[in-house]
Structure 1
Amino acid sequence: MKRATALRALAGLLAGPALAPFSRSWAQTGNAPAGPLRVVASFSILADMVQQVAGPLADIYTLVVRGGDAHVFEPRPADAQKLAQADLVVLNGLHLEGWMDRLVQASGFKGRLLVASEGITPRLLDGHPDPHAWQSLRLAETYVRNIQGALKAALPRQAARIDQQGSRYLADIRALDGWVRTQIATLPPAQRRAVTTHDAFGYFAAEYGVTWLAPQGWTTAEEVSAKDVARVVRELRAQRVRALFLESAGDPRLMQQIAREAGVRIGGELYADTLSPVGGPADTYLHLFEYNVKTMLQAMRGH
């Protein structure tokens, strides 16, 4: 379905019968809902963060499901229905969800909308904010604190429990961050170079001292020109980059072409913008980070 067609379908929902609401929104009444908080998260990584902090206190619906691409997502009428019935909507911000404003308007959502990246100073690409701030575990702490605050405002009687669960999750994030730094420090700086499909690892690069190249900018919706491909191939050869990666939600053909032209072996698949299916190697945010780092290091060492 084309974007315009999808949005017309969403808007058409408002002209039909009124949607049966869940419990009244805490944002409208000032009172906590009787059952689990109805939360809509824009994509799977955010949904997992909310789940880790909220536990059974929230019922979470994910718009861009595991394996999906938030950059090119097309909302469905069912998504507008979920927003209309939600108490809280959590999105990344930094222009990742370009479709969210229209979806909120079409759904008639009246609850609270949390921008999880609020307070983060973004890196800029050609003057535009890079939305992939979760690729730094240090910045992920800001996400978690923002989520924690929104949940406590929604469920004030559960504030102590939310604080306990949030503190435990933050401790896990800090422990993983220490492990990542230790692991990357085992590589000489000259080997800390890699290539992925789109520029999703800029925050990782800045945080952990790794150089990343990509033929696309920060969005997978961007067209890739022959000039872009030639530039990456030249840099691969000049810098003797060993590690070239596919992305789990991307088309592999572009990177396969670059690998052939540069004479570089593909070192595996990374998860940039989405979790894996449950039971897969990256089925939570922390599993994603650990899996990505292990995959990167193996390829960078030339194994």
Structure 2
Amino acid sequence: MSKATFAVSMIALGLGCSSAVIADTKVPVVTSFSVLGDLVQQVGGDHVAITNLVKANGDAHVYNPAPLDAKAIASAQLVVMNGLEFEGWMPRLLESSNFKGNKVLAADGIDTIKGHSCSCGGHGHHDDHDHDHDHDHDHDHDHDHGEFDPHSWHSIKNVKVYVKNIEQGLTKVDPTNADDYQRNAALYIQKLDKLDVKLHKKIALIPEGKRKVITPHAAFAYMARDYKIDFHAPQGTSTESEASAGDVAKIIKQIRSEGIKAVFVENISDNRLIEQISRETDAKIGGQLYSDALSEPTGPAPTYLKMMEYNVDTIVNALK
């Protein structure tokens, strides 16, 4: 065999080998918390290898990144985060990891709700107030992340925007599989639409005036808006905030005066406050809601679709 032929055959072998390696290589993606981990998996399918930072049942409000997180980010091609200042620890983590890849802010372009600084019931449709979520509150304590409520995944309409943003992010870093990402996203959006119809039917079983819900922290304003449920919380939009005695007293008074039947615990919160409120009123604990994290795989809310349905079922069953 001549030297030239040998060189060509080695190049051919080399090419064959490297393209096989490329075909096997999954896109390394880091997601900030479990809801996004699931959404990226739905769109990315077999093409992605996901490292999710805040695990199932974890609280992203108070997360403390570990050295392994920085390592995962340093080798990622794509980082997917919620945005709206939900992950306050993320900018520093990206900087310390020297991340040069692509970023997706999943909540980019959604229909946002203004953040609320207290538990004064601005988290739902109630009475005959205008529902522009801009009520002035006479509270001098502000428990907000930023201007907008970051818990926007509790709206299926918003999550359809998340899915499109994720699809675009994956396509940018891995254009070869763009068709798959587009197809997966479209199929998943169909599932979201179907679930939305189903959830509206379930919630319609409870008269609008009876849809009053108390949760530990104000995570459900988007669900309140979409399904006309009236949510109240002693804490603000972050679990870091302390509920004042005044806030708690106000909630207890409200439960008594409005005959609110159920209060709910959350999978990520310190629930002692809710247990105290339940003891001091006739409101029973109606179950656990999944607010800022999915459950573990064996739990009742291991995926976004299951979480939404589980939360609505839990609320409807408690208010019946």
TM-score bracket for the superposition, by shorter chain length = 0.7 to 0.9
Partner of 2:319: 300
Q: Higher mean Cα deviation, 183-192 or 89-98?
A: 183-192
Question: How far is the alpha carbon of 1:161 from its aligned partner?
Answer: 1.0
Question: How far is the alpha carbon of 1:205 from its aligned partner?
Answer: 0.3
Runs of 4+ in 1 over 2 A off after TM superposition: none
Alpha-carbon distance between aligned partners in 1 of 2:183 and 2:111, rounded to the nearest angstrom: 27
Partner of 1:220: 239
Question: How far is the alpha carbon of 1:218 from its aligned partner?
Answer: 0.6
Larger radius of gyration: 2
Amino acid at match of 2:220: F
- Between the aligned residues of both structures, percent identity stands at 42
Equivalent residues, number: 270
Q: Could you tell me which of 166, 172, 180 is aligned with 2:191? A: 172
State the TM-score, normalized to the length of structure 2.
Answer: 0.82
Amino acid at match of 1:95: E
Q: Could you tell me which of 242, 252, 257 is aligned with 1:233? A: 252
Deviations for 1:67-99, whole angstroms, at most 9, x for unmatched residues?
Answer: 100000000111001111100000000110000
CA RMSD of aligned residues (A): 1.2
Amino acid at match of 1:276: S
Partner of 1:121: 111
Partner of 1:289: 308
Q: How does 1:73-222 map to 2 (within 5 A)?
A: 73-124=63-114, 125-126=116-117, 128-222=147-241
Question: How far is the alpha carbon of 1:104 from its aligned partner?
Answer: 0.5
In the alignment, does 2:60 pair up with 1:60? no
Q: Match of 1:165, SS?
A: helix
Alpha-carbon distance between aligned partners in 1 of 2:111 and 2:306, rounded to the nearest angstrom: 25
Amino acid at match of 1:222: S
Q: Match of 1:128, SS?
A: coil
Deviations for 1:163-207, whole angstroms, at most 9, x for unmatched residues?
Answer: 111111000000000101111112111211110000000000011
Q: Could you tell me which of 25, 35, 59 is aligned with 1:69? A: 59
Q: Match of 1:258, SS?
A: helix
8 Å CA contact 2:103, 2:169 repeated in 1: no
Amino acid at match of 1:218: T
8 Å CA contact 2:111, 2:158 repeated in 1: no
Q: Match of 2:287, SS?
A: strand
Alpha-carbon distance between aligned partners in 1 of 2:23 and 2:53, rounded to the nearest angstrom: 22
State the TM-score, normalized to the length of structure 1.
Answer: 0.87
Q: How does 1:239-254 map to 2 (within 5 A)?
A: 239-254=258-273
Alpha-carbon distance between aligned partners in 1 of 2:24 and 2:209, rounded to the nearest angstrom: 56
Q: Higher mean Cα deviation, 117-126 or 155-164?
A: 117-126
Structure 2 portions without partners, runs of 5+ = 1-21, 118-145
